[in-house]
Structure 1
Amino acid sequence: MKLSREVKTAILVILGIVFLIFGINYLKGKNLLDSSEVFYTEFDYNALTKASPVTIKGNNVGRINEIIYVIETGKTRVSFAVDNKLKFSKNSKIRLYELGIMEGNGLAIITADDDQYAQSGDFLQSEVEQGLITSLTKNFSGLSTGLDSTLKSADSLLFSLNGLVEDDSEAGLKHAIKELNQTLSSFKTLSGSFNSLIAKNQDSLTAVISNFSTISKNLAILSEDLKDVEISKTINNLDETLSSVNALLAELDKGEGSLGKLLNDDELYNNLEGASKELEELLEDVKLHPKRYFRILSKKEIPYEESEN
Structure 2
Amino acid sequence: MKISRELKTGIVSISVIALFIWGYNFMKGLNLFDGQIKTYFTEYSNVQGLNTASVVTINGVDVGKVVDITFNKDPNKRGHLIVEFSIENEFEFSKNSIAKIYSASLMGGKSLAIIPSYDGETAEPGDYLKGEIESDIFSSVTEKLNPLQAKVENVIVSADSLMTGLNNTLDVEAREHIKLSIERLSTTILNFEKLTLSLDDMIQKNGDQLESTLTNAEVMTNNLAKLSDTLVNANFGTTIKNLESSIASLDVILTNLESGDGSMGKLLTDDEMYINLTNASKELEELLREVKLHPKRFVNFSVFGKKDKGYVPEEDEPIEK
* One-letter code aligned to 2:59: K
Cα separation, partners in 2 of 1:261 and 1:55, compared to 1, 3 Å: same
Q: Distance in 1 between matches of 2:243 and 2:155?
A: 86
Which residue pairs with 2:300 in the alignment?
none
CA shift at 1:95, angstroms?
Answer: 2.0
Unaligned runs of 5+ in 1: 302-309
Return the alpha-carbon distance in structure 2 between the equivalents of residues 242 and 179 of structure 1: 64
Matched residue, 1:110: 115
Q: How far 1:50 sits from its partner (Å)?
A: 0.7
Report deviation, 1:4.
Answer: 7.0
Counterpart Cα distance in 2 of 1:147 and 1:175: 30
Alignment equivalent of 1:278, drawn from 267, 276, 279: 276
CA deviation vs aligned residue, 1:71-128 (integer Å, no higher than 9, x gap) = 24645332222333x4121425242324289726432111113697655x34132222
Amino acid at match of 1:76: L
SS of 1:80's equivalent in the other structure is strand
Q: Distance in 2 between matches of 1:216 and 1:22?
A: 101
Q: Is the 8 A contact 1:88 1:112 kept in 2?
A: no
Question: Per the alignment, in what secondary structure is the counterpart of residue 96 of structure 1?
Answer: strand
Q: Do the aligned partners of residues 162 and 185 (structure 1) sit closer, same or farther apart at CA in structure 2, a change above 3 Å counting? A: farther
Q: Is the 8 A contact 2:101 2:134 kept in 1?
A: yes
Contact 1:170/1:176 (<8 A) preserved: no
Residue 24 of structure 2 aligns with an amino acid whose one-letter code is L
Q: What SS does structure 2 have at the residue aligned with 1:172? A: helix
Give the aligned length: 281
Q: Distance in 2 between matches of 1:82 and 1:134?
A: 30
1:17-32 equivalences under 5 Å are 17=14, 20-28=17-25, 29=28, 30-32=30-32
Pair 1:172 & 2:169 matched: no
Q: Which amino acid aligns with 1:67?
A: I
Residue 239 to residue 22, structure 1, CA distance change in 2 (3 Å): closer
* Matching residue of 2:66: 64
Query: Unaligned regions of 5+ residues in structure 2, if any?
Result: 298-316
TM-score using structure 1 length: 0.58
SS in 2 for 1:171: helix
- Candidates 151, 155, 158, aligned match of 1:150: 155
The percentage of counterpart residues that share the same residue type is 20
Conserved 8 A contact 1:68-1:77: yes
Partner in structure 1 of residue 81 of structure 2: 76
Q: 2:97 aligns with which of 89, 93, 96?
A: 93
SS at match of 2:34: coil
The 10-residue stretch of structure 1 (37-46 or 288-297) with the greater mean CA deviation from structure 2: 288-297
Cα distance in 2 for partners of 1:124, 1:292 equals 156
Quick one: distance in 2 between partners of 1:56 and 1:185?
A: 73
RMSD between aligned residues:
5.9
SS of match in other structure, 2:155: helix
Check 1:31–1:134 CA distance in 2 against 1; reply closer, same or farther (3 A cut).
same
Please tell me whether the aligned partners of residues 92 and 110 of structure 1 are also in contact (alpha carbons under 8 angstroms). no
TM-score by length of 2: 0.56
Superposed CA offset, 1:170-197 (max 9, x none): 62224542574488479869988x98x9
Residue identity in the other structure for 2:159: A
Amino acid at match of 2:266: N
- Counterpart amino acid of 1:61? V
